[in-house]
Amino acid sequence: MTPPRREKFPTRVIRLIGTQQLSTALALLPNLPLDEKKPLELVIREEAKPRKLDQNALMWAGPLKDIAEQGWINGHQLHIRAWHEIFKEAYLPEQHDPELTKDGYVKWAFKQNGDRILIGSTSDLTQRGFALYLEQVYADGASLGVQFHANPNDARRAA
């Protein structure tokens, strides 16, 4: 006789910031289902910090602006949003990594005809993930000969 199939277990996140949350976690553990075919995974790590808004502002006012103004591909300059899409396709992580992306992160979706479409966003990155992403953007821009302003405010003053 086949054992009954259990329901999908919902993801639970408990931020251990006090004794109440610790009690909740301890009460949950003995009640978790044990399943050899579909085991649950217990992960304990430091909370990944979401990306900061000032990181986003720096990206648009700094490297993306400099690359859009100075970068050339096949004799053409591209709009800042085009560069943003190119970099997301190239440098967003392919899969969720708790150190780099928020829970639920997905980079690609698929259309009915099977074509894939980019749905990942830099807003899905953690602080660390966004810092690594920006390093790659800077490296790509430098390979095109872009000279970056030390500070986005410097770019505004020079204009």
Distance (Å, rounded) from C-alpha 75 to C-alpha 11? 49
pLDDT digits (tens, 9 = 90+) for 67-79: 999 999 999 999 9
pLDDT digits (tens, 9 = 90+) for 4-24: 677 888 878 888 888 988 888
Contacts of 70 (CB under 8 A, 6+ apart): 141, 144, 145, 146, 147
pTM: 0.67
The H-or-E segment that residue 136 falls in is helix 127-143
> Beta partners for 141?
none
Please state, rounded to an integer, the average pLDDT across all residues of the chain.
88
Share of the chain above pLDDT 70, in %: 89
pLDDT digits (tens, 9 = 90+) for 31-65: 888 888 888 888 787 776 666 778 888 899 999 99
